[in-house]
Amino acid sequence: MAEHDRSAALDSAAGPVRSLLSVRGLEVHFPIKQGLVFDRTVGHVRAVDGVDLEIPQGQTYGLVGESGCGKSTLGRAVLRLEEPTAGEVIFDGEDIAKLKAEPLRKMRRRMQMVFQDPLASLNPRQSVQSLLIEPLRVHGLAVADRAQFGADSSASHLAKVVSMLELVGLPRAALAKYPHEFSGGQRQRIGIARAMILNPDLVIADEPVSALDVSVQAQVINLLERLQDLLGLTYIVIAHDLAVVRHISDTIGVMYLGRLVEEAPSDALYERPLHPYTIALMSAIPIPDPVVEDRRERILLKGDLPSPANPPSGCRFHTRCPFRQPTRCDTDEPALRELTQVAPGRRVACHYAEEILSGEVRVRDADLLIEPVR
């Protein structure tokens, strides 16, 4: 009950839009075990290491970052598919991280997931009909329907399944088919239908289009957007493709080594990225237009992502940062702070965000800067 009050208080502070999900100080650490007889824990992989975010109802939050930055783990921890090590995940007033098994199972009806690889996430031995009816069965929606339709609840299930198929753009004939009989885009539609059939509030889509052909990606992106308008869904879209994420998200969070380094409305983020990592990430994304490509100034990042088991001291990005300064960067860990003065509504975890914005701090090594070529 106390939690209800707290979230209500938070809502009134945040404005008229109700926040559906708020994540506070979330950490997911995986132990590294070693030893033949006794599994000694020799360290932890800090996949998610202190993330705070708010997602208002009906909005889309995009999470971007490179592989290994913890974006998928964060998505899974929100649904408690991974057990959080610390922190709170408050979904509609209840802390999911503390729910017991049965209340959690009930809560999961309202939170669904769309996975990256539809062939791997759909049971090859289940027909589409069986795949789509299963969630209804698991969540005992048959009981509610029985009151309405009498004993014949399977008929109402079937009606639901058929209307869902229609919604995602698959023919009724698909019911008796098996996943291998479909193309990649159609399979992803089945995965989406399975997530949507429970009429959830929150849908987490983990790389929903990256396994699809380029010409098919747009179909699935448009479908996700249409379903959001139709069903009033809240999305978390996790992807490494910033162009896709920018297209569908209202707000984007950029992750690096288990932490959010920048969060901004998606237009503002593209207009003016503030964190050095975001700046480099944006400049690395190829744009399908030679004229733009040739005029762009680009920043190359040196080296690979450091190990999340042993993140660098101070700012986690300082080992690769093209704007690194001699002081503070390798000793103090920057907090994710709102730049109230220069860029309200945006949060950045960089000591020198203002200086980078004003141009006082520049790229320190000319080798890292690639001038426009032609």
Given the rule CB under 8 A, which residues bind other proteins?
Answer: 66-67, 183-186, 213-219, 221-222, 225, 240, 242-244, 246-247, 266-267, 270, 280-294, 298, 300-305, 370
State the minimum distance, in angstroms, from the CB of residue 143 to other proteins.
39
State the minimum distance, in angstroms, from the CB of residue 301 to other proteins.
4
Neighbouring residues of 211: CB distance < 8 A, sequence distance ≥ 6: 116, 117, 118, 184, 188
Task: Pick between residue 24 and residue 272 the one whose CB is nearest to other proteins.
Answer: 272
Task: Pick between residue 3 and residue 294 the one whose CB is nearest to other proteins.
Answer: 294
Task: Pick between residue 105 and residue 302 the one whose CB is nearest to other proteins.
Answer: 302
For residue 248, give the amino acid letter.
I
Neighbouring residues of 36: CB distance < 8 A, sequence distance ≥ 6: none
Task: Pick between residue 218 and residue 309 the one whose CB is nearest to other proteins.
Answer: 218
State the minimum distance, in angstroms, from the CB of residue 51 to other proteins.
20
Q: Are 62 and 245 in contact (CB under 8 A)?
A: yes
State the minimum distance, in angstroms, from the CB of residue 221 to other proteins.
6
For residue 273, give the amino acid letter.
P
Task: Pick between residue 159 and residue 284 the one whose CB is nearest to other proteins.
Answer: 284
Q: Are 29 and 47 in contact (CB under 8 A)?
A: yes
Distance CA 214, CA 319 (A): 34
State the minimum distance, in angstroms, from the CB of residue 287 to other proteins.
6
Query: Computed from CA positions of residues 188, 112, 131, 153, in that sequence, does the dihedral angle turn out positive or negative?
Result: negative
Task: Pick between residue 158 and residue 369 the one whose CB is nearest to other proteins.
Answer: 369
State the minimum distance, in angstroms, from the CB of residue 105 to other proteins.
36
For residue 146, give the H/E element and its range: helix 141-149
State the minimum distance, in angstroms, from the CB of residue 12 to other proteins.
29
Neighbouring residues of 161: CB distance < 8 A, sequence distance ≥ 6: 129, 132, 133, 175, 197
Smallest Cα–Cα separation from 259: which of 31, 43, 23?
A: 23
Task: Pick between residue 64 and residue 77 the one whose CB is nearest to other proteins.
Answer: 64
Distance CA 329, CA 339 (A): 18
Task: Pick between residue 294 and residue 332 the one whose CB is nearest to other proteins.
Answer: 294
State the minimum distance, in angstroms, from the CB of residue 330 to other proteins.
19
Task: Pick between residue 68 and residue 93 the one whose CB is nearest to other proteins.
Answer: 68
CA angle 205, 211, 215 (to 5 degrees): 105
Query: Computed from CA positions of residues 167, 169, 175, 177, in that sequence, does the dihedral angle turn out positive or negative?
Result: negative
For residue 274, give the amino acid letter.
L
Distance CA 247, CA 353 (A): 25
State the minimum distance, in angstroms, from the CB of residue 259 to other proteins.
17
Residue 50 backbone class (left: φ over 0; alpha: ψ -120 to 50; beta: rest): left
Smallest Cα–Cα separation from 326: which of 314, 310, 312, 339?
A: 314
